[in-house]
Every structure is written in structure tokens, then in C-alpha cells.
Amino acid sequence: MNSFKERIFSGAQPTGNLHLGNYLGALKRWVELQDSHDCIYCVVDMHALTILPDPVELLNSTREITAAYLAAGLDPKKSIVFNQSRVRQHSELAWVFNCIARIGWMNRMTQFKDKAGKDRDNASLGLLAYPSLMAADILLYRATHVPVGDDQKQHLELTRDIAQKFNNDYSDRIRSLGVGVEMAVGDETVSGYFPITEPMISGPAMRIMSLRDGTKKMSKSDPSDLSRINLIDDAETITKKIRKAKTDADAIPSEIDGLKGRAEADNLVGVFAALSGQQKEQVLRDFGGKQFSEFKAALADLAVAQLSPITQEMRRLIADPAYIDSVLRDGGARASVIAEENMNNVRNIVGFLQD
């Protein structure tokens, strides 16, 4: 069976500083995947427009997020690293997908509901269409796997629905042009132009929660800076934020069951596990019965040891914007070659007249 070449695609929005959730849920795993896979990592600046950032902040943030990627270990020689808006085919494919996706699908997206709030009529069309652009980001490269945090699961399912509907709607045309690829979906073998992309969501840190409220995701847009650890924070700030993190009055339990109903404790144990490359069970074996003050001191030392080298390298790179721009330019040129080949096929599939 002729099948898709395995390819990884993922990205983060330049809407502020990357935080520990972005690092553990995404970036750290992206770095690990570089050795075994063909990887494309994007700074998704077009997605950032959905919150209408100040243009100068968007430019700065795009460079800062690229600096974080590189400082965390993305190697621009091994992987393609670029900013989305450079490769025009992302918006071109997103338009095709806007005509495939159904408004009902978009209205069901929990991220849209959360971000649009009560006044949905006043939300931008871009915010509603965001998952269609995300599907285009992934499928433009016919990526087979997408490592993301748990919060992106629903968008990934929508990407699969869009790919499936495109493959079905244009199945005759894909066959007659001979551009389809056979793939296994469940027990069936089907043919299509786009792969049914697999999300990669696993490990102890797929949803890192706010340090102030264990029921809310750690997020760039949380107004409280104490709610998150930014990759750019210095050692003193990291230690202070962990010391101030919300916990309860009980000691650390020895068994996983003891974390039930204790969202903040569960979150800190998960962070420790992810940073130290262990399972939560092991962390509980080491710290069960101890007070939070002792556990937090150990967690702060671990976080500082892991994040400080990244922070230092980020600061060095941010001071060299010409280098960052050259990485994005080179990555954009390499991404464009793949993007144009696929978009050219899509234009033929949908029936756009070309030379």
C-alpha cells in the first residue's frame, strides 16, 4: 500500500511569552521528535490576529517565540522553523477549507465559545474560522502527526473531519488526477489527498493548570502573571511563583488516588513528573507524607535547573534579531516548496484554471 510519509507539524501563537504549559505540553516533545521524524514547526502569527495584537508587539512576539523554540533545542537545520504568514498558501488552503467545514462544526468548538464569551455576534469571523486555518496549517504539509497539549484535541478532531470530507467530496477528481494516497483508517483502507492526522497527546503534562487556580489551564492570556511560569522568568521569579502557588492544607499523598479532588496538588505533582521525566507514581513514592513547603522547594530547584539554560539562551537570541529573521526566512523558503507542491494539487483537484 502506497502510504503517507510520516511528518510532524505543530506551532504556537505569538500572543505573549511561552509558559511552562507550552513547554511541557508541546515544545519539549517537539525537540525530542526531531531525531526520529521529519518535523515542521511554525510560529502561527496569522492566528494571533484573532485577538488583534498591537503590530509592534506581534513582530516582537514572533521573534521571541522563535527564540524560545531555538533555545529549547529546535535545530533549524534538522527541522523547518518559520512564521506562518510568510507562506501564503496557508491562507489559500484555509479558504478552500472554509468552504468544506460547516458552521455547525465551528460553533461547537469550546475554545471559540470560551474566547467569544456571551457576545458571539461581536466576535470576529477569524476567531470562528480559526480551526479551519489550523487544519490548513497541518494539511498543507500533509502532516501525519501533530504533538499538542490536551486543549487542542477538539481542533485536531475537526482537522480530521475536514480532511475526510475533502477526500470524500473530491474522491472522483483525486482518483482521476492520480494524486490520492491509500491509508488505513481503523479497519478500512481508504484513498484520499489528505492524511487523517493523528494527534500526539500523552504523558503527565498534557494540561498544565494555572498556579492560582487548579481548574483553569495555564495560559498566556491569564491577567495574573503569578498564574504561570514564563520561559523568560529568572530563577528568583520562578522560585517565588512556585512558593506562592495555591495548594491545600494536607500533606502530599503516597498514592495516585490521594490526588483526587485536589486539582492544585495534582497539577504540581504532574509538573514535577514531566520536568524530571518520571511518572506521577514515582514522585508520590519520593514525596508521599511530606509537606508542600518541602515539595515546592524541590520543585523550584528542578524547574530552575531545567529552565535557566533555556532562559539564558533565549535572552542571547532575542538580542540578535538578524539571526532569528534569517532562520525564519530560510525555514519559510523550505516550507514554501512543500506548500506550493500540495497547493498546486489542491488547485487542480478543486478545479481552479491554471497555466
Output the nine-digit C-alpha cell for 290: 511530606
Contacts of 98 by beta carbon, 8 Å cutoff, 6+ apart:
129, 132
In the complex, minimum distance from the CB of residue 4 to ligand AQP, in angstroms, rounded to a whole number: 21
Q: Which of 218, 252, 300, 349 binds ligand AQP (CB under 6 A)?
A: 218
Q: Which of 173, 220, 262, 334 binds ligand AQP (CB under 6 A)?
A: 220
Q: Which stretch binds ligand AQP (CB under 6 A): 9-17, 180-188, 245-253, 276-284?
A: 9-17
Rounded to whole angstroms, the maximal C-alpha distance in the chain is 72
H/E stretch holding 42 reads: strand 38-43
In the complex, minimum distance from the CB of residue 354 to ligand AQP, in angstroms, rounded to a whole number: 33
Interface residues for ligand AQP in 197-216 (CB under 6 A)? Answer: 206-208
Rounded to whole angstroms, the Cα distance separating 32 from 27 reads: 9
- Shorter beta-carbon distance to ligand AQP: residue 152 or 311: 152
Rounded to whole angstroms, the Cα distance separating 107 from 121 reads: 12
Q: Which of 8, 15, 40, 271 binds ligand AQP (CB under 6 A)?
A: 15
21 binds ligand AQP (CB under 6 A): yes
Long-range CB contact pairs, 26-33, < 8 A, 24+ = 26/147, 26/148, 26/149, 27/68, 27/69, 27/72, 27/74, 28/72, 28/274, 29/147, 29/200, 29/203, 30/69, 30/72, 30/74, 30/79, 30/147, 31/72, 31/73, 31/74, 33/8, 33/147
Q: Which of 50, 144, 152, 239 binds ligand AQP (CB under 6 A)?
A: 152
158 binds ligand AQP (CB under 6 A): no
In the complex, minimum distance from the CB of residue 10 to ligand AQP, in angstroms, rounded to a whole number: 6
Q: Which of 28, 217, 241, 296 is catalytic?
A: 217
Rounded to whole angstroms, the Cα distance separating 271 from 173 reads: 49
71 close to 313: Cβ distance less than 8 angstroms: yes
* C-alpha of 54 from chain center: 22
- Shorter beta-carbon distance to ligand AQP: residue 203 or 321: 203
Known active-site residue 217: yes
In the complex, minimum distance from the CB of residue 48 to ligand AQP, in angstroms, rounded to a whole number: 8
Count of residues interacting with ligand AQP (CB under 6 A): 19
Residue 209 gets which letter from DSSP? B
- Shorter beta-carbon distance to ligand AQP: residue 15 or 239: 15
- Shorter beta-carbon distance to ligand AQP: residue 181 or 283: 283
Known active-site residue 240: no
Contacts of 85 by beta carbon, 8 Å cutoff, 6+ apart:
45, 46
25 binds ligand AQP (CB under 6 A): yes
Q: Which of 153, 165, 220, 246 is catalytic?
A: 220
Helix then strand count (H, E) for the chain reads: 15, 7
Q: Between vectors from CA 12 to CA 141 and to CA 229, what angle results, nearest 5°?
A: 155
Known active-site residue 113: no
148 binds ligand AQP (CB under 6 A): yes
Residues near ligand AQP, by CB under 6 A: 12-13, 15, 21-22, 25-26, 148-149, 151-152, 206-208, 217-221
Residue numbers annotated as active site: 115, 217, 220
